[in-house]
């Protein structure tokens, strides 16, 4: 009789698989740790999506730190082209040097500047390459990028040199979902959506930044923070980084939150650290003016 196929069990994972387990400066859920380890083991880019401030960019820094690898950052802009990531030929510098008689302008190699992808390929060690905010570029960018990542080598036309990667970089791609990414790109990536931290996770994140901070100030601050996030109709909900800034000013100023919670926007000290749109302030002011019974029906109590 053929024995039934054994179910894979998480407790029996090969120890080499769990290479990334977070760092003391970054709170990574088990699912996020798994996504990083899957990407490492499949040697595929890790695509991270999630609300602003959920730690997408910071994760790449901590993957590099946790694995003892160098980090190369590529901040994508609306005009970024995949080829610029490989190298650019600095003709302006060469022209200047020719005009002012600086250096040997015949040596074209001096004017080849590797981009982040080029540096990641040329590196003698495996590196973490962060491609931050991939959705800012045009729709061709992700596909062109994949092509370059697949080939893992490039030809510098001007010098007729070929740069071949010795190691496939650990690629972390972040996106704020401003645009949908092409299917072909999604197919080749390991995808993870970073959920907005629940209160327990947020306490752990706060603890990373303000070790030992607990007690009433933190309880009250979290209540106001999550209360604000629950207010319907806010255009820009406060994010983790805003909460951390707010806690920092609360601590620095010694300000206290009103007993029983705020009754109006003016009761929240340094509200501008959390709420940054005029329209949202108006929403909050209108909410504070509503009859109490109305407000109490809407989830967490806020501006009772
Ligand atoms: N899991 C976490 N552990 C520790 N700190 C965190 C974590 N998540 C967020 N933070 C804090 O929040 C800040 C914002 O994180 P980060 O810039 O990585 O967010 P993001 O998802 O890249 O946001 P955006 O989409 O706006 O670029 C970090 O600098 C850090 O202080
Ligand atoms: Mg970011």
Q: Is the CB of 23 under 6 A from ligand 1?
A: no
Q: What is the mean pLDDT of residues 169-186?
A: 88
| pLDDT for 299 | 43
Spell out the domain ranges in the chain. Answer: 24-194, 199-296
- DSSP per-residue string spanning the chain: -PPPPPPP-GGG--TTT-----BTTB---HHHHHHHHHHHHHT-PEEEEESTTSSHHHHHHHHHHHHT--EEEEE--TT--GGGGTEEE-HHHHHHHHHHT-S-TT-GGGGEEE-HHHHHHH-SS--EEEEETGGGS-THHHHHHHHHHHH-EEEETTTTEEEE-SS--EEEEEE-SSSPPPHHHHHHSEEEEEPPP-HHHHHHHHHHHSTT--SHHHHHHHHHHHHHHHSTT-SS---HHHHHHHHHHHHHHT--PPTT--SSGGGSTTGGGT---HHHHHHHHHHHTS-HHHHHTSSS----
- Percentage of the chain lying above the pLDDT 90 cut: 63
Please tell me the predicted confidence (pLDDT) of residue 106: 83
pLDDT tens profile 236-254: 999 999 999 999 999 999 9
pLDDT tier, 304 (very low <50, low <70, confident <90, very high otherwise): low
pLDDT in tens, 17-35: 878 999 999 999 999 999 9
- pLDDT confidence of residue 292: 63
* Residue-wise pLDDT tens digits, 35-68: 999 999 999 999 999 999 999 999 999 999 999 9
pLDDT at 95 over 60: yes
What is the reported pTM?
Answer: 0.88
pLDDT of 298 strictly over 50: no
Mean pLDDT, range 134-146, rounded to an integer: 90
| Average pLDDT for 92-114 | 85
At 73, is the pLDDT very low, low, confident or very high (cuts 50, 70, 90)?
Answer: very high
Read off the pLDDT of each residue in 64-74 and give the average, rounded to a whole number: 96
Q: What is the pLDDT of residues 191-228, one digit of tens each?
A: 999 999 999 999 999 999 999 887 888 999 999 999 99
Mean of per-residue pLDDT scores for the chain: 88
Choose between 23 and 265: higher pLDDT.
23
Pick the more confident residue, 73 or 289.
Answer: 73
Asked if pLDDT for residue 118 goes beyond 90, the answer is yes
Distance 8 CA to ligand 2 centre (A): 35
Q: Which residues surround ligand 2, an ion (CB under 5 A)?
A: 57
Measure 56 CA to ligand 1 centroid, in angstroms.
6
pLDDT above 50: residue 108: yes
Pairwise pLDDT comparison (173 vs 298), residue with the higher score = 173
Using a 6 Å cutoff on CB, does residue 108 contact ligand 1? no
Q: How far is the CA of 23 from the centre of ligand 1 (A)?
A: 14
136 Cα: distance to centroid of ligand 2 (angstroms): 12
pLDDT score recorded for residue 104: 81
Residue 303: per-residue pLDDT: 67
Report the top-level CATH class of 24-194. Answer: alpha beta
For ligand 1, whether the C-beta of 175 sits within 6 Å is no
């Amino acid at each position: 009789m053929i024995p039934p196929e054994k179910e894979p069990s998480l407790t029996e994972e090969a120890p080499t698989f769990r290479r990334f387990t977070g760092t003391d400066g970054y709170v990574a859920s088990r699912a996020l740790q798994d996504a990083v380890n899957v990407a490492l083991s499949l040697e595929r880019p890790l695509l991270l999506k999630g609300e602003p401030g959920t730690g997408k960019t910071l994760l790449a820094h901590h993957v590099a730190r946790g694995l003892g690898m160098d980090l190369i950052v590529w901040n994508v802009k609306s005009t970024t082209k995949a080829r610029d990531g490989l190298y650019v030929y600095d003709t302006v510098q060469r022209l200047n040097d020719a005009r002012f008689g600086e250096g040997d302008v015949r040596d074209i190699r001096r004017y080849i500047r590797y981009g982040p992808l080029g540096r990641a390929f040329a590196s003698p060690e495996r590196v973490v390459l962060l491609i931050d905010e991939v959705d800012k570029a045009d729709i061709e960018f992700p596909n062109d990028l994949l092509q370059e990542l697949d080939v893992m080598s490039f030809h510098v036309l001007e010098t007729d040199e070929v740069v071949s990667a010795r190691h496939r970089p650990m690629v972390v791609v972040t996106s704020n979902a401003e645009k949908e990414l092409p299917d072909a790109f999604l197919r080749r990536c390991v995808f993870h959506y970073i959920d907005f931290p629940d209160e327990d996770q947020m306490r752990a994140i706060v603890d990373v930044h303000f070790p030992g901070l607990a007690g009433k100030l933190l309880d009250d601050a979290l209540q106001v923070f999550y209360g604000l996030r629950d207010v319907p109709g806010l255009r820009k909900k406060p994010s983790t980084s805003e909460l951390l800034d707010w806690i920092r000013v609360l601590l620095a100023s010694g300000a206290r939150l009103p007993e029983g919670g705020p009754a109006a926007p003016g009761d929240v000290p340094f509200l501008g650290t959390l709420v940054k749109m005029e329209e949202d302030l108006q929403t909050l002011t209108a909410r504070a003016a509503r009859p109490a019974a109305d407000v109490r029906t809407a989830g967490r109590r806020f501006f009772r």
